[in-house]
Structures are given as structure tokens and as C-alpha cells.
């Protein structure tokens, strides 16, 4: 168990050198995320209906069906061995699909679009184009879209349909249709709406990306989502992907709003709210990502969660608010994290909470207000001498517990933070900084200095803070 040192060392930092270094660091952390242009094959695709297999060579695209017992769901609708639609060698529209198959048990016109009742596979060299229509995925037939090529959805509504009947239940879990995108595939969603897709199980969480171990090459999946609305999914579960989500809404999800694993991502200008079980956005693994200009409200766990990440993460200009537990939660991570220009307000826990952090965190220019716990808390059970925290130029008011708690962070820099309101009557710093709280507050609040604290040093500090004026 880590025990705090009694007397960390403190030194003044030259402001010009400090701010120039911060600008350079921010440029280094900022990732560049680009989605390649998605072009539909010019030729018309070929359509076949063929058998689905769960345990033989080449059956890996149906992994989500095999591990979740979904062949049983298909069997309730199809009398013979489970079959699927396959698109190969070009582009197909829903109208072409319906016209070619001409079987109402497989696909038929329905309401303002089409009702699909068979699983559908898009091969590597094929594309399915949904444009200016609606696609209803029948919930009693094991319907799903399996994408190995390009799935382009534009100005289209996609949702499950159960014909007012109870959904099929597997192991106490309600089946709902889903979309799975395998390695090397491309998914494009523009000006569209999605509802009631996916459920809380592996590879079937609504819209999912994954690379299968049986794929010959480990190509990332490209995902472009723009100007679209998502309601009542389990999650957007995006693994091994290059992701852009812009100007969209994510509402009333079960698990996560956006769940990113080993991915590159740019999540901008979105509204995420009413996430029932977990966090609004979660990032895991080796990442390069920007989360910017989003409003994330009313989520059960944290607005943004980073779990066991390495790489670079920018969290900037977001509103993280209203009944979520934490604004940002960092767990067991070794990454460069920039948290800048965000508004944290009316949360039920701590604005920025971290456990076992061994990377570098830069908390700059944020507004933190109406918080019932800490503004910022970084706790390590074992000391991390290389861990770095910069807490600079933030505006903080109405925080019930101390402003900053640090335990086991080797290097902490502070300065130009504006501390307003009731917190002036309580401890502002606790943990490793408590023994030198007086010196830090004198330097940073009275004399407006920027200071650096080496937590694990016993070197005596000898600074004339009046020189900072």
C-alpha cells in the first residue's frame, strides 16, 4: 500500500518557458484521424441465397450467430437449414434486392421501405446501398447484416420490427437484430436514423466492428457516421476501427454510447444522453483519439471513461454534466491525456477521477462547478514516479470536497487556477500535497506563481515566491 512522503519538494517554474512547453506538448498529443473516401463499386452485384454454417472452414463471419445460439432463432422462422442472402461482386440497393429475390418470406415491401427477414452477408468485393428508404429488420427470424465489404446508409431509417409480438428470449436475453462489420469492411452512415438494434452480448450490441482471428489480414474497419440519430441500441461497439462520428445523437442506450477498443477516433459535435448501465464514451487499449464539442448527459457511470489505455487522447470543449457519475474517469492507464476547455457541472461524483495512472495528464482551462466530491482526484495504490499531472488555468467553484487530491503521482505542476466560492473555507489540496498545501497556495493564489512539485523528493524547497509578481 502506498504511503505519502512527508515533505515533497516545490519549485517555481518560469511562466514563459512553461506555457511554450505546454503548447508544444499539446501539438504532440493531437492525433490526426482521417477516413478514406468510400466509393461504391460501379458494377451491379450478384445476389444468392445459400446455407449458413456454424462450425466449418469459412464460417467465421457467423461467429456472432454461433456463440449466441442465434441459429435457434433462425430455425423458428426458416423450416430448413438456416440460409442467408449473399451479395458479391458489386453494388446492390434494397429495391434490386427485393426485385431479384421476389420472395416475401425473405424480403418484401413494408410501410415506407422494406422488411428483411433473412440474415444478409455483404462480401469483401460488394456493397449494399440504402438510400432514401427504410429498412425494417424482422426480430423473430434472426435477421442481421454481416458486413465484410461496404455498407452505405444514407437518408434511411433502420430499425427492428417485432409485429407487436414478444421478442425471442435466449438465456434470459431478448434477441434483437444487429449489424456486425468485420475486418477490412467499411461502414458509412449519413443523415439516417437507427432504433431498437442489438442486445447485451458479445458481437451483437447494435452496431459492432471486430477483426476475426480467421481473417487472413488484420485490416482495420472504417466507420463514418454523420448527421444521424441512434435510439435504443445496446452500444456502438467499435473495435480495431478508424472512426469518425460527427453531429449525431445517441440516446437511451443500454451499455455504452460509444465503446472504442484499440481504435483511432474523432468523436465531435454529438449529443449523448440517457445511457442506462455504463459510460457515455469508453476508450480501451491502444488508441489515438479526439473527443470534442460533445454534450454528454445523464449516464449511469462516467460521461467519458478511459480504461487501460495507451497512446494519445484529447478531451476538449465538451459539456459533461447533469446526473452522470464522473465527468472523466481514467483507470489503469499509461497515456498522454489532454483535458482542455471542458465544462464539468452538476455531476454526482468527481469531475475528473483517476485510479492507477502512470502517464501524463494535462488539465487546462476547464470550468468545474457544482460538484459534490472532488474537482480532480488522482489515486495510485503504488507510487508512479514517472506519472505527471499538470493542473493549470482552471476555474473552479462550488466543489464540496477538496479541489485536488493526488496520491502516488510523481510530478505535479499547478498555477493560475481560479478558486471561487465555498471551497475557500476548506482544505483545497489533500493527499501527497497536503504537507505543503500552505506553500502551494501562497505561491499560486497569493503570488500567482506556477509551481512544480516533486512528490517523492526530500530536497528542501527554498523559494522567494514574491518574485512571481
Instruction: Give the domain ranges of the chain.
Output: 31-427
Q: What is the mean pLDDT of the chain?
A: 93
User: Which residues have a Cβ under 8 Å from the Cβ of 291 and sit 6 or more positions away?
Assistant: 265, 267, 268, 281, 304, 313, 314, 315, 316, 318
pLDDT at 47: 98
**Is residue 421 pLDDT above 80, yes or no?**
no
Neighbours of 416 (CB within 10 A): 18
Q: What is the pLDDT of residue 116?
A: 98
Tens of pLDDT, residues 376-413 = 999 999 999 999 999 999 999 999 999 999 999 999 99
Of the given ranges (307-311, 322-326, 459-463), which has the lowest mean pLDDT? 459-463
Determine the pLDDT at residue 227. 98
Instruction: Decide if pLDDT at 216 tops 90.
Output: no
83 near 143, Cβ under 8 Å?
no
Decide if pLDDT at 2 tops 60. no
Do the beta carbons of residue 143 and residue 118 sit within 8 Å?
yes
Residue 285 scores a pLDDT above 50: yes
Confidence at 331, pLDDT banded by 50, 70, 90: very high
pLDDT recorded at residue 79: 85
| Bridge partners (DSSP) listed for residue 288 | 264, 312
Provide the grid cell at 335: 497515456
Q: What is the pLDDT of residue 463?
A: 67
Query: Could you give the maximum distance between any two Cα atoms of the chain, in Å?
Result: 86
CB 149 within 8 A of CB 125: yes
CATH architecture of 31-427: 3 Solenoid (2.160)
pLDDT cut 90: percent of the chain above it? 82
At residue 299, does pLDDT exceed 60? yes
Task: Show the 3-state SS of the chain.
Answer: CCCCCCCCEEEECCHHHHHHHHHHHHHHHCCCCCCCCCCCCCCECEEEEEECCCCCCCCHHHHHHHHCCHHHHHHCCCCCCCEEEEEECCEEEHHHHHHHHCCCCCEEEECCEEEECCCEEECCCCEEEEECCEEEEECCCCCEEEECCEEEEECCEEEEECCCCCCCEECCEECCCEEEEECCCEEEEECCEEECCCCCCCCCCEEEEECCCCCCCCCCEEEEEECCEEECCCEEEEECEEEEEECCEEEEECCCCEEEECCEEEEECCEEEEECCCCCEEEEEEEEEEEECCEEEEECCEEEEEEEEEEEEEEECCEEECCCCEEEEEEEEEEEEEEECCEEECCCCCCEEEEEECCEEEEECCEEEEECCCCEEEEEEEEEEEEEEEEECCEEEEECCCCEEEEEEEEEEEECCEEEHHHHHCCCEEECCHHHHHHHHHHHHHCCCEEEEECCCCCCCCCCHHHHC
pLDDT at 461: 63
* Predicted local distance difference test score (pLDDT) of residue 407: 96
Give the whole-angstrom CA distance, residue 323 versus residue 285: 27
Segment of 170-179, 210-219, 346-355 carrying the highest mean pLDDT: 346-355
pLDDT of residue 426: 64
Handedness of CA 445, 447, 448, 449 (dihedral sign): negative
Q: Look at the alpha carbons of 300, 375, 391, 416 in this order and tell me if their dihedral is positive or negative.
A: positive
Amino acid at each position: 500500500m502506498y504511503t505519502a512522503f512527508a515533505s515533497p519538494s516545490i519549485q517555481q517554474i518560469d511562466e514563459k518557458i512553461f506555457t511554450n512547453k505546454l503548447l508544444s506538448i499539446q501539438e504532440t498529443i493531437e492525433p490526426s484521424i482521417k477516413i478514406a473516401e468510400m466509393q461504391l463499386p460501379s458494377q451491379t452485384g450478384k445476389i444468392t441465397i445459400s446455407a449458413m454454417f456454424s462450425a466449418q472452414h469459412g464460417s467465421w463471419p457467423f461467429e456472432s450467430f454461433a456463440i449466441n445460439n442465434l441459429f435457434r432463432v433462425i430455425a423458428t422462422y426458416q423450416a430448413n437449414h438456416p440460409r442467408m442472402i449473399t451479395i458479391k461482386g458489386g453494388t446492390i440497393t434494397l429495391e434490386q434486392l427485393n426485385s431479384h429475390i421476389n420472395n416475401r418470406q425473405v424480403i418484401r415491401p413494408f410501410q415506407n421501405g422494406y422488411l428483411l427477414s433473412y440474415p444478409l452477408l455483404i462480401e469483401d468485393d460488394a456493397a449494399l446501398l440504402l438510400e432514401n428508404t427504410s429498412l425494417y429488420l424482422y426480430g423473430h427470424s434472426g435477421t442481421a447484416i454481416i458486413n465484410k465489404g461496404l455498407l452505405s446508409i444514407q437518408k434511411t431509417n433502420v430499425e427492428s420490427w417485432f409485429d407487436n409480438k414478444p421478442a425471442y428470449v435466449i438465456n434470459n436475453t431478448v434477441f434483437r437484430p444487429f449489424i456486425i462489420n468485420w475486418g477490412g469492411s467499411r461502414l458509412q452512415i449519413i443523415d439516417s436514423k437507427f432504433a431498437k438494434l442489438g442486445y447485451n452480448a458479445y458481437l451483437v450490441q447494435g452496431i459492432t466492428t471486430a477483426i476475426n482471428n480467421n481473417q487472413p489480414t488484420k485490416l482495420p474497419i472504417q466507420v463514418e457516421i454523420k448527421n444521424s440519430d441512434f435510439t435504443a441500441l445496446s452500444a456502438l461497439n467499435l473495435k480495431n476501427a478508424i472512426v469518425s462520428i460527427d453531429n449525431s445523437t445517441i440516446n437511451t442506450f443500454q451499455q455504452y454510447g460509444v465503446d472504442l477498443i484499440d481504435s483511432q477516433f474523432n468523436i465531435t459535435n454529438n449529443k449523448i444522453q440517457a445511457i442506462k448501465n455504463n459510460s457515455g464514451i469508453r476508450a480501451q487499449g491502444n488508441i489515438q483519439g479526439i473527443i470534442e464539442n460533445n454534450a454528454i448527459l445523464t449516464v449511469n457511470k462516467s460521461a467519458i471513461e478511459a480504461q487501460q489505455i495507451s497512446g494519445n487522447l484529447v478531451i476538449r470543449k465538451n459539456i459533461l454534466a447533469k446526473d452522470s457519475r464522473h465527468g472523466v474517469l481514467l483507470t489503469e492507464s499509461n497515456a498522454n491525456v489532454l483535458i482542455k476547455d471542458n465544462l464539468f457541472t452538476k455531476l454526482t461524483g468527481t469531475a475528473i477521477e483517476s485510479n492507477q495512472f502512470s502517464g501524463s495528464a494535462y488539465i487546462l482551462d476547464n470550468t468545474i462547478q457544482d460538484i459534490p466530491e472532488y474537482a480532480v482526484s488522482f489515486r495510485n495504490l503504488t507510487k508512479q514516479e514517472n506519472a505527471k499531472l499538470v493542473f493549470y488555468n482552471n476555474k473552479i467553484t462550488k466543489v464540496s470536497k477538496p479541489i485536488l487530491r493526488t496520491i502516488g503521482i510523481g510530478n505535479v505542476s499547478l498555477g493560475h487556477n481560479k478558486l471561487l466560492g465555498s471551497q475557500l473555507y476548506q482544505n483545497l489540496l489533500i493527499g501527497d500535497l497536503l504537507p505543503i498545501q500552505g506553500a502551494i497556495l501562497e505561491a499560486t493564489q497569493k503570488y500567482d506563481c506556477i509551481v512544480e512539485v516533486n512528490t517523492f523528493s526530500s530536497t528542501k524547497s527554498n523559494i522567494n515566491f514574491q518574485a512571481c509578481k
